[in-house]
């Protein structure tokens, strides 16, 4: 999935910043500089992707320990 940050400005000047394709706190890190440039954050809505763990690759291998003769 591609990642993108959407910035919308309404006719009344209300600005919305939305991150797509990020998981966990990655979305907040991705939008932080834009939010700081725009000023204070009035409201923050966290989408379901925020609560998902970021995918990481982990390889495990167990050696020995098998019972046998």
Each residue's pLDDT expressed in tens, for the chain with a length of 69 residues? 688 999 999 999 889 998 888 877 788 888 889 989 988 888 888 777 777 765 555 667 667 766 665
Residues sharing a CB contact under 8 Å with residue 41, sequence separation 6 or more, in sequence order: 35
Domain ranges of the chain: 4-48
Contact call for residues 5 and 17 (beta carbons, < 8 A):
yes
Calpha distance 47→23 (Å, rounded) = 9
């Amino acid at each position: 999935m591609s990642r993108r940050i959407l910035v919308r400005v309404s006719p009344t000047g209300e600005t919305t910043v939305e991150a797509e394709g990020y998981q966990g706190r990655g979305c907040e890190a991705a939008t932080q500089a834009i939010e700081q440039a725009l000023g204070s954050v009035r409201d923050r809505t966290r989408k379901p992707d925020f609560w998902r763990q970021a995918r990481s690759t982990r390889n495990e291998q167990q050696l020995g320990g098998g019972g046998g003769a």
